[in-house]
Structures are given as structure tokens and as C-alpha cells.
Structure 1
Amino acid sequence: MIQVLEFSFALLPIVIFLIGMWMLDSFQLIKTREVIITILFGFLIAGIAVLFHGTILNNTGIDRAALSRYIAPVSEEFLKFLPVIFLIVTRRVGFMVDAAIFGLAVGAGFAIIENLYYLRALEEATLITWFVRGFGTAIMHGCTTAIAAIISKDLFDTKDWPAMLSFVPGFLLAVVLHALFNMFLLPPTTSALLITISLPPVLYLVFKKSEAHTRSWLGTGLDSDMELLQILLAGNISQTRIGGYIQSIRDKFPPAVVGDIICYLRVYLELSIKAKGILIMKDSGVELPPDPDVEAQFEELEYLESQIGKIGLLAIQPLLKIDNTDLWQLSLMR
């Protein structure tokens, strides 16, 4: 019975927290398989951290207390952050809420393996120890990575910094929070309760803010895309501001390329509208069947990109205002 309680205290809180936050996402854009794979990466990273810290303890004069306070916050947050950086840079994360879930999943995987390691290593530990590790350390691991992921996703999408600089503020904050927890400035049980009471509500508020931002982006983006597509299909493009802009670049490109630019705009807008429609239906709890025409449209889009070239794509950027979320929504279609 005692062992069952130890396992429950050590492992269940972070798992329940991750599932709860995942279920709160009304768009449900992250598939179960993706969450599981991310958790498995957390397992791997925890194993690397254990080996790295063991090497330090065995080959240097650093004791476990100093390691926990000064080295582990940096090394563990860095390792947990690597999958998040990869997912954001490769545009596999659409919104801040998705970044938070991926961060939580990495942290949960890390915490599960770490606590399993300590369950074996600390055979004489009391239930209070496992309460602290389960409700304090494990939740901390998930929340620090999730907070870093949220901040990084926001900066990556909104700032014109070099891409990797977008990850520095979130990483540093995660390290500071982790280090403060490991300093034991408060009694361990108090720290665990404080973590459990404070960090989950903060993430919940971010979830709600992200969902509100997503709905706003869907509404304004859909209206804008439909207006632009209607102008293109109406045939009187020369009488509009869009036609004026295309006319301004006409002298810079051969006539065939200008025609390809107009076709590219049409196909891109059709895919963008379909993607936003899928998101709106998901928010309403409706799953749409795959569109059989999508793959052909992507092939046409890729062909037109090759014909237009990089300079042509840059020339139409002011019309589409393509950002990271727009690029991600097209990947959603596939």
C-alpha cells in the first residue's frame, strides 16, 4: 500500500496536469501520437541528464547540493528546451497554447523518468518526499518548460530578432524559476504547495488568452482572405488597390511571371480559407473529412513558387502578410 502511494504521489500529478491542460485546448490541434512522442523525448532527455550529472559528481569535487542549486537548473532546462526549439523553428507549433502543451509534455516525460530513478535510489524516503517530488518538482519541470515555450513562441512570431535570440528570454526565466525552487528558500512542502497553487493557474490564463487570440486571428484573417480572393475571381483586379500594386511590379517581372503571381495568390488564398475553416469547425467540435483536392493544390502552389522565384515571393509578401502562423496553417492541411 505504501509503495502504491509513493508511485501515485511521484508520477500521477504531472500526468493528470498534462492531460487536463491538453483537454482544455478546444482546438485539439496536437494529436495523441505527437504528445506521446514528445513525452518519449522527455524520457530520453532525463536519461541524458542523469548520466551527465552522475559524471560531474563522480569526476569533480562538486557535491549533490551544489549540483542541484547551480548546475542542474541550467543543464536540465537546456536539455528540456531543445525539442521545443526544434518544434518552433520547424513550424510544427501553431499557437502559444500548442507550445505550452509540447513544453508540458517534455517536462512530464523528464519528471516521470527522474522520479522513477529516485524511487529506486531513495528506498527509505518518506511519503512527504514523494509528495514534494510529485506535486513540486514534477509540476515545476513541466511548467518551466511550458512557460519558456510560450514566451519563445510569442517572440519568434512577433519580433524581427535573429531566430535563436527569441528563445533566450524564455530559457533564462525557466532557469531562474528552477534555481529558485532548488534553493529551498521555503520548506519543501510549502514550495510544493506554492508550485501547485500558482503555476497551473498561470498556464490556464495563458491558454485562455491564446485561444482568444486564435479566434481573433481566425476571424480577421478569414475576412481578409475571402475579400482578397473575391477580388481576384471577380476579374476587375486592375481597378483595385491590389491591381495597383501588381501593376507597380509588372515592369519588374516578365508577363508570364506576373500571371503566375496572380495564380499563386488565388491558390494560396483558397488553401488559407480551407485551413481556417478546419480550425473553426474544430473549435465547434466538428471534424471535417480530408479534402481530395488539397494535394493537387499544394502541387500547383509548389510549381508556381518555382516559377515565381524568391524575388517574386518577396514581392507579393505585402499582399498576403504571411507570418509563421500562416505558414503553419498550410502544414495543417496536409
Structure 2
Amino acid sequence: MTMAELWTQSAHWGLALFPVLVLLGMFVWLDAFKLMSFREIVFLLLLGGVGALAAWPLAGRMLDTLPIGFSNYSRFVAPWIEEAIKAAIIIILFRLNRIGYKLDAVISGFAIGAGFSVVENIFYLVRFPDYGPGTWLVRGLGTAVMHGTTLAILAATAHEFAERETREASGDFDFRLWWFLPGYLIAVALHTTFNQFPERPMLAMMGAALFAPIALMAIFNFGTTETHQWLTVESAEHKRQLEALRSGKWPEGPAGRKIASLAQRSDADQAQRIRRYWELQAYIVAEAEETMMEEAAGDAEFDKAEIRAAFKELRELKQGLGRSTYVELRRLLPFSRNDEWEVSELRQRLKD
């Protein structure tokens, strides 16, 4: 291969792979709460790549013709398959409580879609090295951005439907697959629309390049406002819990009455462990929320040693409570799946 050919191939790879990664980097940079670490972004990209690897043998002709595909299969069947594979990854992340706020959902969805498109485009680059730069521009700025956008919208829509469950006590959490159906149908509709212009690929590319930033920034801004509101309200509630527990009282509400009853049925030492466990959990959740709000304000600071000591004491209290009491206490505590996700984010910050 001559130097000119090498430069040409490098340009083609850059056009096909970089635009969607640059857009992903922009969304991560715009996230005021810094929810995603570099390792997490790479992991999500890899998950998307695994999805593309699964799609190749499963769909067969799904990746049949450049730049978009001319068959009815590509137009009307492939979108259902591709979006289902990408949706399965998002569903798993939701089920494992790896997605917290809507901002997190948008970035996670776009990152997975970006990873899917990168591997898909690598397939194309290897199989069709002689196609010109116009093809790779369409693939990189059109198809790739479309993949990220459809999954980001699916994830954000699912998050909207799941909010009530994720904000209630985790002991009452009930995971529902139907949360993902509306977003999946929207994603398929957008993907199908994109695939309807095989004879006019530049038009499809321009549509994706214009629609994606506008739609995602609108969701991004809504998610930012929503996150601020959630953090303000929930932080105040957890600080009230902490204040009551530190003053020797039980917090008001159903959880306070039920846990007070559990403590009354226990001996004095066990009752003290129950109170202390709730107090430490409330402290850690409040610290996680305070850190996120400070991060958004640009001055996040927290006492790592004190928080690590609290985590350590929680582990010791868990052993002291015994399995049956611990399980009952965890079921009664008024902390949501979202609170648990915030704590996992705080753990991540402790490692950084």
C-alpha cells in the first residue's frame, strides 16, 4: 500500500468512526454532574460493540448494502432487530440498577449505540475498502449518530416510565418490561424512517445530523433540571432523617414506625445497631447527593476518610445484625433504588 493509499484509508476510517465518538464526548463534557467516568464510557462502548457482533450472524442480510441498504429487509426488518439487540443491553443495565438519572440514561444509551455503530462500521470498512469518502461520511455522521440517538431516546423514555418505581423504597421495587416498549417503538420508527432514503443517503445523513443534537440536547436540558430538583428534595429528606436519628428519635413516617417496632422487639444492643445502621445509611446517601450538587456547582469536596469509615462500619453492623434482622431492616428502610445508585456513584468517586 502506498503512502497516498494509507492516508486515504485513514481518512475513511476517521470519517466512519470519529463523528459519533466526538458527539459522545461532547455529551459527557456537558454533564454537569460528571456521572460517567472514562472507564464506564469505555465499558458501554464495548457493550455496544458486543451487540453489533451479535447482530451480524443473527440478522444476516441486515448489513447487506452500503451506505444504508436497498432491500425491503434493510428498510423494514433490520431496524426491529438492531433496536431489540441494543434495547436488551439497556434493559440489563436498568435491571442491575446501573442507570440513575435521566442524564445517565441518555449518555448510557448514546454510548452503547455509538459502540454498536463503531463495530458495525468497522465491518463495512474491512469488507468494502474501495468505497469513497462520501459513503463513510454518511456512515459516520448519519448511521452512527442515528444508532446512538435511537437508543438514547429509548433509555430516556424508559427512565420516565420507571421513575415512580425507582424513587420509592427499594424493598417495594417492581421491575416492568413494559417501561421499555414505548421507547423501543419510537427507536424503531426513527430507524425505519432513516432507512427509507437509500437513493438519497446525504438527505438521511443531514436529517440524522440535525435531529440528533436538537433532540438529545432537549432531553439533556430536561434531565439536568429534573436532576437538580430531585437532589434538592431528596437531600433535604435524608438530612431530616439523619437529624432525627442523631437526636435519638425515629424519623416520622411509615418506615420510622416499622423500624422502631423492629427495634422494640430486639434487645438493647441490637436496637442500637438498627438505629446506627439507618443513621449511617442516611449519612452516606446525603453525602452522595451533596457531592453531586457540589459537582454541578464546580466545587465538589468530601471527606474520603470519613466516608470510607462509614462504609466500613456499615459492613461491621451488617455482620452484627445477623442475616434475618439485616434482611428485614433492608426491606423496611426508606431508601430507593435511585438512592442506592447514588451510593454506588459515591463509591466510584472514592476510587478516583
Q: Same fold (TM over 0.5)?
A: yes
- C-alpha displacement of 1:253: 6.0
Moved more, 31-40 or 74-83: 74-83
1:250 aligns to 2:277 (yes or no) = no
**2: distance between equivalents of 1:302 and 1:231?**
22
- C-alpha displacement of 1:30: 1.3
Structure 1 pair 161–70 and aligned structure 2 pair: CA distance change class (3 A): farther
- C-alpha displacement of 1:180: 1.5
TM-score, normalising length from structure 1? 0.85
**2: distance between equivalents of 1:244 and 1:112?**
48
**2: distance between equivalents of 1:141 and 1:26?**
24
1:306 aligns to 2:323 (yes or no) = yes
Aligned to 1:107: 113
Which stretches in structure 1 are left out of the alignment for 5+ residues? Answer: none
Give the AA of the match of 1:79. Answer: I
Aligned to 1:153: 159
Contact 1:250 1:258 in 2 (8 A): no
- C-alpha displacement of 1:295: 2.5
Structure 1 pair 243–80 and aligned structure 2 pair: CA distance change class (3 A): closer
- C-alpha displacement of 1:227: 1.8
Aligned to 2:224: 211
Secondary structure, in 3 states, of the residue corresponding to 1:183? coil
Structure 1 pair 47–247 and aligned structure 2 pair: CA distance change class (3 A): closer
**1: distance between equivalents of 2:79 and 2:197?**
13
Secondary structure, in 3 states, of the residue corresponding to 1:265? helix
1:197 aligns to 2:210 (yes or no) = yes
1:293 aligns to 2:306 (yes or no) = no
Contact 2:86 2:112 in 1 (8 A): yes
Aligned to 2:235: 222
- C-alpha displacement of 1:208: 1.7
Structure 1 pair 196–302 and aligned structure 2 pair: CA distance change class (3 A): farther
Aligned to 1:80: 86
Secondary structure, in 3 states, of the residue corresponding to 1:293? helix
- C-alpha displacement of 1:139: 0.4
**2: distance between equivalents of 1:243 and 1:107?**
42
1:139 aligns to 2:148 (yes or no) = no
Aligned to 1:67: 73
1:126 aligns to 2:132 (yes or no) = yes
Give the AA of the match of 2:261. Answer: R
Structure 1 residue runs of 4+, over 6 Å off? 55-58
TM-score, normalising length from structure 2? 0.81
1:170 aligns to 2:187 (yes or no) = no
Count of aligned residue pairs for this structure pair:
324
- C-alpha displacement of 1:38: 1.5
- C-alpha displacement of 1:200: 1.4
**1: distance between equivalents of 2:29 and 2:224?**
13
- C-alpha displacement of 1:2: 4.1
Structure 1 pair 18–54 and aligned structure 2 pair: CA distance change class (3 A): same
Aligned to 1:265: 278
Contact 1:260 1:308 in 2 (8 A): no
Structure 1 pair 305–109 and aligned structure 2 pair: CA distance change class (3 A): farther
- Counting aligned pairs with the same residue, the percent is 27
Give the AA of the match of 1:174. Answer: A
Moved more, 80-89 or 188-197: 80-89
Structure 1 pair 130–249 and aligned structure 2 pair: CA distance change class (3 A): same
What are the residue-to-residue correspondences of 1:35-46 with 2, within 5 Å?
35-46=41-52
**2: distance between equivalents of 1:243 and 1:157?**
21
Moved more, 17-26 or 39-48: 39-48
- C-alpha displacement of 1:266: 1.3
Moved more, 157-166 or 86-95: 157-166
Structure 1 pair 255–135 and aligned structure 2 pair: CA distance change class (3 A): same
Contact 1:46 1:114 in 2 (8 A): yes
Secondary structure, in 3 states, of the residue corresponding to 1:111? helix
Contact 1:108 1:138 in 2 (8 A): yes
**2: distance between equivalents of 1:300 and 1:186?**
66
- C-alpha displacement of 1:57: 9.4
**1: distance between equivalents of 2:328 and 2:33?**
35
Over residues 13-65 of structure 1, what are the superposed CA-to-partner deviations in whole Å (9 max), with x where a residue is unaligned? 1111111111111111211011112112222221221222337899xxxx971
